């Protein structure tokens, strides 16, 4: 839990904080203002505050393709991605199209171990066996130049819906909807793939309504808000920034789930995760459902996860959710083993605490599991606080890498700069600001390592990277209440770009015990008050905690611990530094 170069920095109190205090408690106003909230309207999470779909470039061409496909009852094939965003996008597309009257719609998701990412010519050949008239990509396709060309050469129309950053050349698809494509004026550039396809389905419903489709077909116009549970899950699991648009989508999805409006697949996933729907927050989607859904794509085949999300039968959904839970347990075991190997290699090289550690770090092991290298990169990045790319063999003479970055370095742009400066070095790449994927020839790894480190140093400079924890300040013993914890819990969807409130303070350890081998349970006391509070540090460095026997400075979040219908406030400890050792009192 104690880590070097992790100072606690207190957020300044913005001047406009007072503008929020008439309607919000002072602490909540301070927290929201420090996250860029200028007025109360930005905390209103109603659907009427979403920007209109008409602002999306290509939306008219997209709805024309889809409306024609429904009118003629063409065969539609949805091609998704093998992560949680891709799975929720695929499930949403199928459920929405069926609600809108499509009778011939199916999905295909590439197996990452056979075909890799996106609409490749190889996956088009597989898709062609189903004789689709229209392929709709979700959460992929913006970089699939060859795949789109291969589909069109077979007489298959292609609609690309994606949110990833495009390259200089776009695929020659029949229509493209991506808020990040050139010339798009849609104000929310951070939509996840599931958010993009949700907007497309809203636009299609509007088009069908204008065409009189529902009356002619004898079907009721569907309320697509019933799909917001999928939108919320995919948005949070893909770790896109929670700007106002994404907060609205997530808040609406959570509200529906808390009210019991939840699909059987998601209900079953919550059951195996031991979560209660009426208490859900965004973190539950990111840390309980997301990993279980992602495990299918990482360890086996994401079709399993999509079938769970599509299931309308509770017993079937529970069986599928149990399978996903088991895959997640296997994934965690593989991840733990890989992490130990990676850290052992760093220790062997005497680099983990050394100034010689590359600023842009690349790790490679041919035996590492392709489905887990992204998680490993994230874990190492968190530990060493620098951009990390983890590589493993791709089954040929190529190696596959998964990259994770730190604030201040746009990882996809960094890879683009490396590719521009070293033509032919990268076989392919793509991604976002904080995460990316790439492929290299195995013999090019050392040259790439040097080029990547040089580019990271060029962008970030040579000063040591410091992992700062931004605190919302200190809380007195009287402020740490169950009421405050509950209020903050449901104030807004917290997540990427809109972080959950983090506080800091000095405490005396009254008692300490290890639970579940990796977690530390604490009883803490304020130095200036006789009051105590429970706390827990998850996935802690147990050895460091066992040496902490006196006064400590902590960074923590407020949480509500529920046990046998009893609620109590507790602190979730994110960081600890020992100030003074002394025996427990």
pLDDT reported for residue 350: 55
Is residue 314 very low, low, confident or very high in pLDDT (cuts 50, 70, 90)? very high
pLDDT at 150 over 80: yes
pLDDT reported for residue 112: 66
Nearest Cα neighbor of 536 from 501, 497, 496, 509 is 509
pLDDT reported for residue 105: 97
115 and 168 Cβ atoms separated by less than 8 Å? no
pLDDT at 462 over 70: no
Average pLDDT over residues 453-457: 93
pLDDT reported for residue 574: 93
Whole-number percent of the chain with pLDDT over 70: 95
| 445 or 461, which is more confident | 445
Nearest Cα neighbor of 328 from 355, 304, 346, 310 is 304
Token output for 497: 């770009």
pLDDT reported for residue 582: 59
Is residue 584 very low, low, confident or very high in pLDDT (cuts 50, 70, 90)? very low
Is residue 306 very low, low, confident or very high in pLDDT (cuts 50, 70, 90)? very high
Distance (Å) of CA 483 to CA 311, 524, 531, 536: 38, 19, 17, 19
Is residue 147 very low, low, confident or very high in pLDDT (cuts 50, 70, 90)? very high
Domains in the chain: ranges and CATH: 8-34+472-580 (2.40.50.460), 53-326 (3.90.1640.30), 349-460 (3.10.310.30)
Positive or negative, the CA dihedral 50, 284, 227, 80 is positive
For residue 175, the SS3 value is: strand
pLDDT in tens, 163-201: 998 988 999 999 999 999 999 999 999 999 999 999 999
Whole-number percent of the chain with pLDDT over 90: 64
pLDDT reported for residue 153: 96
Q: Which range has the worst mean pLDDT, 258-272, 309-323, 453-467? A: 453-467
Token output for 325: 């839970």
pLDDT at 64 over 60: yes
pLDDT reported for residue 113: 63
Angle between helices 264-273 and 314-348 (to 10 degrees): 50
Nearest Cα neighbor of 432 from 58, 139, 35, 123 is 139
pLDDT at 138 over 90: yes
pLDDT reported for residue 388: 94
CA-to-CA distance for 275 and 264, rounded, in angstroms?
A: 14
Average pLDDT over residues 375-384: 85
pLDDT reported for residue 117: 74
pLDDT reported for residue 169: 92
CA-to-CA distance for 409 and 407, rounded, in angstroms?
A: 6
Give residue for tokens 């499509």: 102
CA-to-CA distance for 515 and 19, rounded, in angstroms?
A: 44
CA atoms in the 13 A half-sphere facing the CB of 281: 16
Average pLDDT over residues 412-435: 88
CA-to-CA distance for 96 and 197, rounded, in angstroms?
A: 10
Average pLDDT over residues 450-462: 90
Q: Which range has the worst mean pLDDT, 166-175, 311-320, 390-399? A: 390-399
Q: Is 148 left (phi over 0), alpha (psi -120 to 50) or beta?
A: alpha
213 and 101 Cβ atoms separated by less than 8 Å? yes
pLDDT in tens, 275-304: 888 889 999 999 888 889 888 877 777 888
CA-to-CA distance for 79 and 162, rounded, in angstroms?
A: 11
Q: What is the mean pLDDT of the chain?
A: 89
Distance (Å) of CA 71 to CA 197, 199, 424: 20, 20, 46
pLDDT reported for residue 188: 94
Cα dihedral: 237, 242, 248, 252 (round 10):
30
DSSP state of 73: T
Is residue 382 very low, low, confident or very high in pLDDT (cuts 50, 70, 90)? confident
Cα dihedral: 33, 37, 43, 46 (round 10):
-170
Sheet of strand 361-364, all strands in order from the earlier edge strand to the far edge: 361-364, 388-393, 398-404, 435-441, 426-431
pLDDT reported for residue 244: 95
Q: What are phi and psi of 371, to 5 degrees?
A: -75, -10
Q: Residue 398, exposed/middle/buried by CB under 10 A (0-12, 13-18, 19+)?
A: middle
Query: What is the pTM assigned to this prediction?
Result: 0.87
Q: Which range has the worst mean pLDDT, 110-119, 154-163, 230-239, 284-293? A: 110-119
CA 397 to chain centre: 31
pLDDT reported for residue 2: 45
pLDDT reported for residue 585: 45
pLDDT at 349 over 90: no
Q: Are strands 388-393 and 175-177 parallel, antiparallel or unpaired?
A: unpaired
pLDDT reported for residue 14: 82
CA-to-CA distance for 406 and 410, rounded, in angstroms?
A: 8
pLDDT reported for residue 319: 96
Give residue for tokens 């509200």: 255
pLDDT reported for residue 334: 82
| DSSP for 254-294, written as a single string | HHHHHTT---HHHHHHHHHHT--GGG--HHHIIIIIHHHHH
Average pLDDT over residues 476-497: 93
pLDDT in tens, 251-261: 999 999 999 99
């Amino acid at each position: 839990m104690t880590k070097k170069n992790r100072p606690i920095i207190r957020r300044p109190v913005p001047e406009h904080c007072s503008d929020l205090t008439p309607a919000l408690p002072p602490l909540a106003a301070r927290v929201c203002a420090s996250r860029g909230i200028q007025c109360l309207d930005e905390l209103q999470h109603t659907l009427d505050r979403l920007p209109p779909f008409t602002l999306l470039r290509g939306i008219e061409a997209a709805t024309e393709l889809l409306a024609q496909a429904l009118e003629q009852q063409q065969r539609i094939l949805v091609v998704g991605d093998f992560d949680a965003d891709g799975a929720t996008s695929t499930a949403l597309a199928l459920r929405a199209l069926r609600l809108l009257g499509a009778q011939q719609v199916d999905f295909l998701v590439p197996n990452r171990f056979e075909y890799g990412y996106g609409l490749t010519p190889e996956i088009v050949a597989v898709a062609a066996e189903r004789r689709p008239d229209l392929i709709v990509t979700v959460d992929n396709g913006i970089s699939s130049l060859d795949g789109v060309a291969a589909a069109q050469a077979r007489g298959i129309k292609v609609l690309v819906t994606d949110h990833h950053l495009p390259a200089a050349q776009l695929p020659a698809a029949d229509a493209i909807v991506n808020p990040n494509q050139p010339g798009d004026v849609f104000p929310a550039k951070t939509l996840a793939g599931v958010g993009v396809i949700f907007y497309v389905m809203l636009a299609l419903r509007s088009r069908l309504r204008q065409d009189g489709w529902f009356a002619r077909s004898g079907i009721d116009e569907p309320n697509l808000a019933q799909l917001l549970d999928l939108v919320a899950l995919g948005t949070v699991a893909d770790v896109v920034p929670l700007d106002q648009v994404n907060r609205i989508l997530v808040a609406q999805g959570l509200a529906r789930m808390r009210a019991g409006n939840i699909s059987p697949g998601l209900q079953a996933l919550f059951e195996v995760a031991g979560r209660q729907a009426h208490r859900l927050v965004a973190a539950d989607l990111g840390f309980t459902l997301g990993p279980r859904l992602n495990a299918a794509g990482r360890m086996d085949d994401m079709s399993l996860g999509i079938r769970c999300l599509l299931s309308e039968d509770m017993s079937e959904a529970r069986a599928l959710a149990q399978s996903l839970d088991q895959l997640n347990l296997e994934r965690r075991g593989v991840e733990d083993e890989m992490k130990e190997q990676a850290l052992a290699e760093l220790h062997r090289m005497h680099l983990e605490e050394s100034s010689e550690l590359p600023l842009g770090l690349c790790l490679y092991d041919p035996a590492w599991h392709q489905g887990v290298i992204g998680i490993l990169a994230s874990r190492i990045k968190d530990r060493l606080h620098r951009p990390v790319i983890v590589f493993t063999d791709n089954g040929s003479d190529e190696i596959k890498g998964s990259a994770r970055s730190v604030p201040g370095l746009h990882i996809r742009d960094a890879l683009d700069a490396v590719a521009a400066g070293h033509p032919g070095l990268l076989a392919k790449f793509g991604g976002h600001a904080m995460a990316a994927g790439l492929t290299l020839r195995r013999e090019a790894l050392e040259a790439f390592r040097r080029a990547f480190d040089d580019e990271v140093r060029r962008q970030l400079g040579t000063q040591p990277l410091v992992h700062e924890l931004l605190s919302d300040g200190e809380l007195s013993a009287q402020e740490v209440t169950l009421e405050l914890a509950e209020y903050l819990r449901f104030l807004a969807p917290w997540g990427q770009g809109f972080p959950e409130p983090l506080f800091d303070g000095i405490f005396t350890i009254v008692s300490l015990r290890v639970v579940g081998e990796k977690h530390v349970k604490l009883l803490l006391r304020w130095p200036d008050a006789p009051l105590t509070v429970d706390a827990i540090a998850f996935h802690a460095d147990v050895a460091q905690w066992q040496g902490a026997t006196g006064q400590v400075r902590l960074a923590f979040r407020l949480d509500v611990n529920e046990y046998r219908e009893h609620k109590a406030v507790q602190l979730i400890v994110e960081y600890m530094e020992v100030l003074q050792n002394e025996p427990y009192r």
